Structure 1
Amino acid sequence: MAITARSPEVLRYTAFSGDPDGGNPAGVVLDAAGLGDGDMLAIAAGLGYSETAFLTPPPEALGGPETARQGRAFGIRYFSPKAEVPFCGHATVATAIALGERYGPGDLLFATPVGTVPVTVTAQACGALEATLTSVEPHVEAVPGADVEEALAALGWTAAELDPALAPRIAFAGARHLVLAAATRERLADLSYDFDRLEALMRRLDLTTVQLAWRASETVFHVRDPFPVGGVVEDPATGAAAAAFGAYARELGLVPRTAVLTLHQGEDMGRPGVLTVELRAGETRVRVSGRGTRIPA
């Protein structure tokens, strides 16, 4: 891997689990000043995780002078092994945990390509750190039936295997995700899809992942996220999709206006993680929380 500027320290953290073997691993570069786009892409590709986050100096206006003086405001960019992505929840959580370990719990501000994302790092009673991000303004839109049919064909699913109570939608909370709900846990567990065909559809619809979900109870869901546009078959724990799913569940009236949802992801990959999604009445933005920990070298 040839880096034109210099060779920065690349940290490895997992998000949405306190176990290094669980959750979703992310690369974290706490000082990316001086790195070009090609450098960042080369680092992300060499690491091979679904995303790597790169911290840069904050925009002058971000968070006001007090936040800047405290050193808790940052620019941030995200790269998959194939391309830059607009927002990545798990890499945001991983970066916040890394900063929390170095500078202590507290509030952070990240200037992402899609807007400002506040994150709060707290210490749990057990000593573990947890990060809570607040999404950018979400929205949910209908998806044409022909696009749903193409997605099902790429996945090898049939329309009869969908949960009729959870209609397909495209949801956004920093990145676009097509939400499809399986009628059974068995259907969700059996994931074997046409990588190229699904990637082509996702590029046409400007999707980051396809969020596949199964509802276990009123507020508990199991989810999976194919990610072919990032060069990854499946993302183990997807914070951006979790935020989008919270907006989706609220828009469809699946949960109360104030609710806490638990999303289990990664179990079928052998990397279990837990994402907590919080909705608050009177607020449109969605909060996503999870633990994180450093992956030993």
Structure 2
Amino acid sequence: MEVLRYVAFSTDPKGGNPAGVVLDATGAADTAMLATAAEVGYSETAFAVPSGDGALVVRYFSPLAEVPFCGHATIATAVAHAERHGTGRLRLRTAAGPVTVTTDRAADGTLVATLVSVAPRTAPIEEADLAELLAVLSWSAGELDPALPPRAAFAGAWHPVIAAASRDRLADLDYDMAALGALMAHRDWTTVNLVWRESPTVFHARNPFPPGGVVEDPATGAAAAAFGGYLRELGLVSPPATLTIHQGADMGRPSTITVTVPAEPDTGIGVTGTAVQL
């Protein structure tokens, strides 16, 4: 397999979130894909297999396990495909369901990709799980933003949304990786989406990712899509809305994710970003 390496959600190779991309993984066994993802060492590598009807079957592997959906690797895959086959609309078949992604060139020539997630949904977080999660993070209930209540959010993968009341709280991330990984495995959470609201449409996020063997993800498109659905379902944004999520700055890899929240309920969330080859 030819493995390409891209950074998604940044035009600077020193920013964004690196992803491995295999545009043709035809015939590759699960063990081979997992071993390749481990060798690449990024939070996820996407493996695409062209199908007879023009769609791509895409699977995503972290260095430790397969995940149902990954936003930044999807953006990277779409840009890599567009560089070789031209811009346009791709239909993806993922373990989470069908995802469309469209590529186009900005005025400055930069390739930009927009994915539309599966239908999002939210669920309560059990009180005991929330208490354990906050304890592992060394956060207190008094440090949370009461305007953004804790929920588990889904748009292809599950992410608990925990909102900090201050930027300083978000900036101070120091957690027990083994303990958080065990809790997340028990609840089938992919990353923890820690957020702070700067303004009605601008947010900052950090995403611990111990199930993937990664302390922190610098740009998490799947969590951004889930967060857009969370805001719409809880009436915390007035759709249609365009949101900006800044992520990765605290770990020295600044990323920018644009989230489009349609007004129609139960419709997919748009996630837009750039990608550059390493």
TM-score (norm 2): 0.98
Look up the equivalent residue of 2:274 and give its one-letter code.
Answer: R
Aligned partners of 2:109 and 2:50: how far apart in 1?
Answer: 30
3-state SS, counterpart of residue 192 of structure 2: strand
Q: Name the residue aligned to 2:85.
A: 103
Q: Name the residue aligned to 2:73.
A: 91
Picking from 252, 255, 258, the partner of 2:240 is 258
Q: What does the per-residue CA deviation read over 1:130-166, in whole Å, with 9 as the maximum and x for residues that have no partner?
A: 0000000110111111111100011011111111111
Q: What does the per-residue CA deviation read over 1:71-107, in whole Å, with 9 as the maximum and x for residues that have no partner?
A: xx21100000000000000000000000011111100
Aligned partners of 1:57 and 1:101: how far apart in 2?
Answer: 16
Aligned partners of 1:94 and 1:257: how far apart in 2?
Answer: 27
Look up the equivalent residue of 1:39 and give its one-letter code.
Answer: A
Q: Name the residue aligned to 1:26.
A: 19
3-state SS, counterpart of residue 183 of structure 2: helix
Q: Name the residue aligned to 2:61.
A: 79
TM-score (norm 1): 0.92
Please report how far the alpha carbon of residue 285 of structure 1 lies from its aligned counterpart in structure 2 after TM superposition: 1.1
Q: Name the residue aligned to 1:242.
A: 224
* CA-based RMSD: 0.9
Q: Name the residue aligned to 2:143.
A: 161
Q: What does the per-residue CA deviation read over 1:170-198, in whole Å, with 9 as the maximum and x for residues that have no partner?
A: 00000000000001000101111000111
3-state SS, counterpart of residue 199 of structure 2: coil
**Runs of 4+ in structure 1 displaced over 2 angstroms?**
none
Please report how far the alpha carbon of residue 263 of structure 1 lies from its aligned counterpart in structure 2 after TM superposition: 0.2
Look up the equivalent residue of 2:243 and give its one-letter code.
Answer: L
Q: What does the per-residue CA deviation read over 1:6-40, in whole Å, with 9 as the maximum and x for residues that have no partner?
A: xx111000111111111100000111112111100
Note the residue ranges of structure 1 that are not aligned, 5 or more in a row.
Answer: 1-7
Please report how far the alpha carbon of residue 257 of structure 1 lies from its aligned counterpart in structure 2 after TM superposition: 2.0
1:178 aligns to 2:171 (yes or no): no
Look up the equivalent residue of 2:12 and give its one-letter code.
Answer: D
3-state SS, counterpart of residue 208 of structure 1: coil
Q: What does the per-residue CA deviation read over 1:238-280, in whole Å, with 9 as the maximum and x for residues that have no partner?
A: 0000000000111121110210000000000110010000011
Aligned partners of 2:111 and 2:159: how far apart in 1?
Answer: 28
Q: What is the number of residues matched between the two proteins?
A: 277
Look up the equivalent residue of 1:157 and give its one-letter code.
Answer: W
Aligned partners of 2:263 and 2:50: how far apart in 1?
Answer: 34
Look up the equivalent residue of 2:248 and give its one-letter code.
Answer: G
1:10 aligns to 2:3 (yes or no): yes
1:203 aligns to 2:185 (yes or no): yes
What is the aligned-residue identity percentage? 61
Q: Name the residue aligned to 1:272.
A: 254
Who wins on radius of gyration, i.e. which is larger?
1
Aligned partners of 2:244 and 2:276: how far apart in 1?
Answer: 20
Aligned partners of 1:34 and 1:279: how far apart in 2?
Answer: 37
Aligned partners of 1:107 and 1:57: how far apart in 2?
Answer: 14
Q: Name the residue aligned to 2:44.
A: 51
Look up the equivalent residue of 1:294 and give its one-letter code.
Answer: Q
Q: What does the per-residue CA deviation read over 1:56-84, in whole Å, with 9 as the maximum and x for residues that have no partner?
A: 132x5xxxx4xx2xxxx211000000000
Note the residue ranges of structure 2 that are not aligned, 5 or more in a row.
Answer: none
Aligned partners of 1:251 and 1:107: how far apart in 2?
Answer: 28
1:38 aligns to 2:31 (yes or no): yes
Look up the equivalent residue of 1:16 and give its one-letter code.
Answer: F
Look up the equivalent residue of 1:92 and give its one-letter code.
Answer: T
